[in-house]
Each structure stands twice: as C-alpha cells, then as structure tokens.
Amino acid sequence: MSKIGEIIEASTSEFMAQCYELHQPPPFGSLVKAREGEIEIYGVVCDAATTSIEPGRHPIARGREEAEEEDVFRSSPQLAKLLRTDFSALIVGHKEGQKLYHYLPPRPARIHSFVYVCDAEEVEKFSQSFDFLSILVAAKGQADELIAASLRHAAQAQPDPRRFLVIAGKELAVLLGAEPNRLNTILRRIRR
Amino acid sequence: MSESLHNERRGENEKRLGLVVSGSLSRGVEVKLDSTTSVEDIAVGRYVTIEGEKGRFLGMITDIALDAIDSRLMTNPPEVSDPFIAEVVAGTSTFGRVHVQPQLTLGGDVSSLLEGPQSVKTVPAHFSVVKEASEQDVERVFGQVEEKQFWIGTPLDMEIKVRLNPTEFVKRSNGVFGKSGTGKTFLARLLLIGIVQENVAANLVFDMHSEYGWEGTSEEGRKVKGLKQLFPSKVAVFALDEESARRRKVSTDFVVEVGYDEIEPEDIEMLGETLNLTEASAQATYRLARHFGERQWLERFLALEGREELNELAKALGEHEATIAALRRRLEALRRLRFLVPHARDNAIQRILEYLDRGINVVLEFGRYDDITAYVLVANLLTRRIHAQYREKVERAMGEEIAKPKPLVITIEEAHKFLNPGIANQTIFGTIAREMRKYNVTLVVIDQRPSGIDEEVMSQMGTKITCLLDNERDIESVLTGVSGKSELKAVLSKLETKQQALIFGHAVPMPVVVRTREYGSPQSYKELGFREAIELKKEAEKELEDLWG
C-alpha cells in the first residue's frame, strides 16, 4: 500500500494532506485512508491544489527562454522545494476492527498521519454499501462532480461496473427524488 | 430501498413483484413495483400472494398505474433514450403501482392448514413483500380436482383446474352474463354438463335457440355436441317443434303440445309486454275466464267471429268494446304457434316431472318458435306448474319426513323478459329467484342485458359468471352487492371477448377470472365423459364378463 501524503489539517468531516510528490495528488473522487489509532478513516478526494509554500509569495512565469516545460524545473531545481501539492478528502466512513462503517468516525485523524491510496480490493469492499452517497450528496461546492467522479472511480474496481453504476444510480434517484435536475446531471456523468 | 437493492444484487427476487405501501381493507392495498418488475408484465385479474407478518394473503390485481417520485419528471423527462439512464430511473424515479384486492388468508400454522383459506379480515403490514401467486397457492384455494369432477376453466396464466362447488352452485339461483358473442351459451352449456356430470340436481332447460339439447354451433360455425349426445341416458330432449327436430335429425323423447285449456289468464298477463297488451285488456282475461270457465275461455274467445259477437261479449262482461277487440287482435298471435292445440294429447308437465323424478335432465327445444312470445308463454306456463308440484312435494317431505325431491335447476335465456323490475314480482321466475332453495328449485339465468333484471333478483343470485360486459349499467348491475365492486369492475371490463369469464359468488372461494375450458374437440368430449358407441359396447361386454366370470 503506497503512502501518498501526510495530514496537515483535520476535522471529523474532512482532512487536508500534503503530497510527498509535487503535482501528484490522488485522483479527484478516489478513495484514500488514514489511521487514527485503531480506526482507519476513509475519505473521498474532493479537492487538490498546488501552491507556493509561502502564501505571500506567488510563483512567477519562468519559461520564456526554455524549449520544454520540464526545462523550467531543470534550470531552477529549487522550485520543487518552494511549491507544494495539497489535497482534501471528505470523510465518508471508517473501519474499526474488521467492520466498515459508512458514516463519520468518532474522532478526526491526527495531524501527520500518513495518507494511503486504497487499492481496488479495498474500494470494492467499501463500495458494497451506498450509504456514503448521502454524505457526498450533502457536500458543499461541486457535490455533483464529486459524486460522479467517486462512482466512476469505484466502478473500475467492480467485477461488473455497469451493474454497479445502475444500482448506484438507483440509490441516487431515491436520494435526489426531489431534485431531478441534479440526478440528471450526475447520471449523464456516470453513464457508460 | 436498500433491502431491495441487496436482493437485486444477490438475484433472489425472481418472482418478487414489489412491496405493499398503503391501502385499506375496503379498498385493497397499493403495491409499489420493484424496479425489476415491468408494469407491462402485469395483467389485471392475476393472483398475487402477499407475505404478511403473521400469514400470507392471496389477492387479485385489480388496477395498474404509473407513478413518479417527483412531478417535475413529467414535465422534464429524463434522457431515457440512453439505456443506462432508462435503467436507473425505472423503478426509482418512475415506478409502477398495482392495486391488489386481498381475498383470502392462507395461514401457515397447522390449524389454518386444516381449516383452509379464510376470508380476509385485515390487511398485510406495511412493506410486506408481494409475489406472483404460485400454482400451489391457487390450487390450495380452489382445491384439487379429482378425475371425475367437473371443472370449468383455468385461471389466467395457470394450469390449475377451477371447480365450482356443485352443491353450493345449485343451492341458489345463478346468472351467466355477457354481451352477445362472448360465449354465454358455451359457458352455460358447460355449467349444465357440470351439473349433469356431478349429478347434484336435475336440469330443466328452456332452450330457446336449440343449442343445448342435441347439438349447438360454435362461434366459428362448427357443430358441437349437446347434452343428449354426451349423456344419452341422462338427458331427454323435448321438442315444441317436431318438424324442426326431425329436420335437424334430433332424436326427441317427447313432443310438447300445450292445450288452450291449460293457458290461464296469468300466462297471458306475463305476455303483456311482448304482445303489447294494455293493462285493461290483460285484466279482461280474468273476466273472460270467469265468463267462459277456466278451461275453455281461450278457445272459446278465439272462436268468436265477427264484430257483433265480440260486442255482445263486451257487453256481457261490462268491458269496453275496444278493449275486447284489441285483446282479440293481440291474442290472434297465439294462433301462429302450432304447438298450441285446443286440447293436448298428453300432459307435458306430467311427463317432464316423471323424467325429472327419475333424475333425467330435460331440455325443451323451441325449434322454429324462437320468438319471445312463445318462449315466455311456455317457460312461464310450465315452470309455474312444475314449481307448484315441487313445492307440494317439499312441503309433504317436511311434514312426513321423507326425502325431499332432487334439486331442480331451471335454465332460462333472455332472462330480462321474465325478471324485469316491472314483472319480477309477479312471475314465477321472480318468486324462484327470491325464495331461493326453500323448495329445491333454483334458476340459471342467461342474459346479455343484466341491467334489465330486477335489482332484488340480481342481489339474490348465488354465483355470477360473467363474460365481457361493456355497458356501464350492465356492469353495475352484475356487481350489485359484491364487496370490492369498483375493483372487480376494472377486471370485468378488461376481459377478453372470448373464452374468458369472471366468476364470483358462493360456488367459488374467491373471485376468479378463468379461461373457460375447451369444448368441441373429440378430446374435450372424452374428458367430459363422452364414450363412442364402440367403447360403450366394449364396456358392457366387460361388465357381462365380470358378472358371469
């Protein structure tokens, strides 16, 4: 299991982590996890950003004289140290012992906990219940994009992705019973 | 919802249709269909079982509807051209609803197994699972049919034989309804065969169009065997029209003649409508009878010639001349009926009773006298006297504690002519229909306009068998006094035009739509107990052999 970053900000509903590798956050909508003692906390990547390590100092354009984009970093190797890639994850469940719960954990993750990307087997296990969808439906911001991305991501781990998406879609149809337009938006993004 | 999703995942809901979501005992329950069940696979009139918490319910689908989770979907439909989206919204955003009328409960414990299905006194709990009824469930309700027992048809999409309880059936008057061409005659013939086969009653059939006795014709114009051909030793064909019988090569047992001396003023009164008699001229017949004597009045009245004689009679009776003249003119129609003779050579009523006493069923074929005047006249006249005799016998049986006579079932067609609200109180058929089984005589009425039949008579009928009806008033009248009326209405108006009938009432444990059994092929005759001459001979030989060793 590959460690991808480290938590730098955490609450019971969300955490933010800094990636070890610049420009390599986990994909939007993918499932990641972090430990808090005995508890494993699962989150869906809901945002990622690369910024300057100092909020006041903005990067400036440096590539006028370079032929390739990579050359910018090659000629100024310090740049990699002055930038950082962070990502946020919306917490969608946790595991205590061997049991999975598709609701929020009792405590937030600790700062400096490692964050791992879940492998296909774990994604499949986690997505056997769609109870986490109600958390995503209520998410702030780009909730519909997030739902679609996470389902597309989870579908890849299923033996029958289409069937999985149909059942997920049906669950959404119930959750979004009063919002047919939102449902349509999501369905158009996950159809195959 | 997630429960059903899980089931879907595990593929465990092969026959599951949906869940009960609301309802009441009086109106039936609403069932939301699962997304895997297409409304197009559901048909009104089919049976379903509902798994309640304490027991199972058996019900009939009486309505099917489309519904959506949000009304905005109607104005802005989802992109169903995309198969994925179509599959997602089916059963969730949009879904089917069916209306089920619970009919019986099938208990799971030992005592209820012994008692059999009970009528419903409650409704299944919320979200009880609804499934297609299995053949075993339905068979448990209608009972297994033994080899020799008569069955009428099979429920929709099932291979179970539905049997009318024959003793219950003949206990009360029954009706066979349906608009013309829907198979009333076929059904009635089957019912009569059933009564003969089960030997629960003697039949007297007033066979207006000569369809039941020797042979009839199917809708396609094929000839089908009548009762006499199937049960030669148990059925006697009486004919009003010997010539027609001979032409049709029917072996008649007796030719019925009716003497003028047998016609009473009451018989003429019943013809009031068909002969277009005024109230006054109908009443005048009673005075005529007093004037000329009970047994001679009609003959002597018809023998009067010329205006003078009639005027003289009018004066003697104290009637208006025009009344008498009009009555005479109208009664002239009776002369056309060749079976009416001044004095009958043999007493038809006595003959019929003799046959019935011996347990032989009598079919009276009208031959070419298939107009309503002859039919009403003869049916009334014979039935009145036969009923009187039966009444006497039953009363004697009650007094002397001897066996009551075998139940008699009288079949009449065009029943609204006998049982319309205007005359149902006066005719013998109205009396029989109302007093039910008291005197062991009941009716099978066959009619295409049940709305023309007196409401009280309709409500007294034990079992009603109805083919397709589309007139609102007819449907209304057939369903008078039935619980779950509006639900059955939907079923009744959606019957197919052929070979389907809705049966409800005393002889069946719950309303059932049947596809009537096939009749007319050699195989069907055989199933009903028909034996070719050669087989009969073989059987007789075998019996002889058994007897003498």
Report the alpha-carbon distance of residue B89 to residue B85 in Å, rounded.
6
Report the alpha-carbon distance of residue A117 to residue A111 in Å, rounded.
17
What 3 state SS string does A78-128 have? CHHHHEEEEEEEEEEEEEECCEEECCCCCCCCCCCCEEEECCHHHHHHHCC
pLDDT over 90 at B97, yes or no: yes
Domain boundary, last residue among B336, B371, B386: B336
Domain membership flag for residue B273: yes
Domain membership flag for residue B424: yes
Residues of chain A with Cβ-Cβ distance to B78 below 8 Å are: 180, 183-184, 187
Give tens-digit pLDDT for B21-67.
999 988 899 999 988 888 888 888 888 999 988 888 999 898 999 98
Both B321 and B288 in one domain: the answer is yes
CB A94 within 8 A of CB A13: no
pLDDT over 90 at B14, yes or no: no
CA A74 from centre of chain:
30
Q: Tell whether B8 lies on the interface with A, counting CB pairs under 8 A.
A: yes
Dig out the tokens for B410 from the structure.
Answer: 């009288």
Closest approach of A84 to chain B, Cα-based (Å): 40
Both B33 and B126 in one domain: the answer is yes
Task: Work out the percent of chain B whose per-residue pLDDT is above 70.
Answer: 95
Residues of chain A with Cβ-Cβ distance to B70 below 8 Å are: 177-178, 180
pLDDT over 80 at B285, yes or no: yes
Q: Do B79 and A180 touch (CB under 8 A)?
A: no
Both B274 and B251 in one domain: the answer is no
Give tens-digit pLDDT for B430-440.
888 887 667 88
What are the DSSP E strand ranges found in B245-377? 254-255, 258-259, 340-341, 361-365
Residues of chain B with Cβ-Cβ distance to A192 below 8 Å are: 84
Both B175 and B290 in one domain: the answer is no
Q: Tell whether B85 lies on the interface with A, counting CB pairs under 8 A.
A: yes
Q: Tell whether B23 lies on the interface with A, counting CB pairs under 8 A.
A: no
Domain membership flag for residue B529: no
Both B390 and B354 in one domain: the answer is yes
- Would you place residue B4 in the very low, low, confident or very high pLDDT band (cuts 50, 70, 90)? very low
Closest approach of A183 to chain B, Cα-based (Å): 9
Give pLDDT, residue B91. 82
Give pLDDT, residue B374. 87
Both B364 and B509 in one domain: the answer is yes
Highest mean pLDDT among A83-92, B262-271, B371-380, B443-452 belongs to A83-92
Q: Which of A131, A183, A191 sits opposite B82 (nearest CB)?
A: A191
Both B323 and B359 in one domain: the answer is no
Domain membership flag for residue B484: yes
Q: Tell whether B35 lies on the interface with A, counting CB pairs under 8 A.
A: yes
CB B397 within 8 A of CB B438: no
How many residue pairs bridge chain A and chain B with CB atoms within 8 Å of each other?
64
pLDDT over 50 at B473, yes or no: yes
Domain boundary, last residue among B288, B311, B336: B336
- What integer is the mean pLDDT of B188-192? 89
CATH code (residue B379)? 3.40.50.300
Domain membership flag for residue B548: no
Give tens-digit pLDDT for B195-236.
888 888 899 999 888 888 888 887 777 888 888 888 888 899
Both B353 and B293 in one domain: the answer is no
Domain membership flag for residue B537: no
- What integer is the mean pLDDT of B305-309? 81
Both B238 and B270 in one domain: the answer is no
Q: Tell whether B4 lies on the interface with A, counting CB pairs under 8 A.
A: no
Give tens-digit pLDDT for A20-73.
999 999 999 999 999 888 899 999 999 999 999 988 888 889 888 888 988 998
Q: Which of B1, B79, B91 sits opposite A184 (nearest CB)?
A: B79
Structural domain boundaries enclosing B51: 2-133
pLDDT over 50 at B13, yes or no: no
- Would you place residue B12 in the very low, low, confident or very high pLDDT band (cuts 50, 70, 90)? very low
Sign of CA dihedral B294, B296, B297, B299: positive
Give pLDDT, residue B371. 83
Average pLDDT over all residues of chain B: 84
Give A56's contacts (C-beta < 8 A, 6+ positions apart).
Answer: none
* Number of structural domains found in chain B: 3
Greater model confidence, A128 or B279: A128
Highest mean pLDDT among A19-33, B279-293, B505-519 belongs to A19-33
Give tens-digit pLDDT for A140-182.
888 999 999 999 999 999 999 999 999 999 999 989 988 888 9
**Complex ipTM:** 0.84
Give pLDDT, residue B549. 62
Residues of chain A with Cβ-Cβ distance to B79 below 8 Å are: 184, 187-188
Q: Do A174 and B1 touch (CB under 8 A)?
A: yes
CB A174 within 8 A of CB A144: no
Residues of chain A with Cβ-Cβ distance to B74 below 8 Å are: none
- What integer is the mean pLDDT of B155-178? 87
Both B371 and B455 in one domain: the answer is yes
Domain membership flag for residue B161: no
- Would you place residue B73 in the very low, low, confident or very high pLDDT band (cuts 50, 70, 90)? confident
Q: Do B93 and A177 touch (CB under 8 A)?
A: yes
Both B353 and B329 in one domain: the answer is no
Pick the residue of B84, B94, B95 with the most A CBs within 10 A to test the interface with A by mutation: B84
Give A144's contacts (C-beta < 8 A, 6+ positions apart).
Answer: A182, A185, A186, A189
Give pLDDT, residue B112. 63
Both B88 and B61 in one domain: the answer is yes
Q: Which residue of A has its CA nearest to B72?
A: A180
Domain membership flag for residue B153: no
- Would you place residue B527 in the very low, low, confident or very high pLDDT band (cuts 50, 70, 90)? confident
Dig out the tokens for B43 from the structure.
Answer: 């048909």
DSSP SS3 for B459 = helix
Domain boundary, last residue among B272, B305, B336: B336
Give tens-digit pLDDT for B394-431.
888 888 877 888 889 999 988 888 888 877 777 888 88
* Cβ burial, residue B227 (10 Å; 0-12/13-18/19+): buried
